[in-house]
Structure 1
Amino acid sequence: MASPMSAASFLDVLKGEGLDLVEVGDWRHHNRNPQGAWGPVNGVMIHHTATSGAAATVDVCRKGNAGLPGPLCHGVITKDGRVHLVGYGRANHAGLGDDEVLRAVIAEKALPHDNEAVVDGNPRFYGFECENLGDGEDPWPKAQLEAIERAAAAICRHHGWSERSVIGHLEWQPGKIDPRGFTMAAMRTRIKERLK
Structure 2
Amino acid sequence: MYVWTGRTAGDRPELVRRLLRRAGGALLGRSEVEIGVRRAPGGRPEVYVGDGRTLPVSVSHTDDLVVVAARAGGPVGVDVERRRSLPAARLADRWYDPAEAAWLRARAEAGRDLDFLRLWTAKEAVGKAFGTGLRDGGLRRRMPVPDGPGDLLRPVPDTAGGLLRPVPGCPGVRVGHPATGDGLVLAVAVLGAAGVVDVVLA
Highest RCO, 1 vs 2 (Cα 8 Å, sep ≥ 6): 1
TM-score by length of 1: 0.28
Question: Greater strand percent: which structure?
Answer: 2
Question: Greater helix percent: which structure?
Answer: 1
TM-score by length of 2: 0.28
Over alpha carbons, which structure has the higher Rg?
2
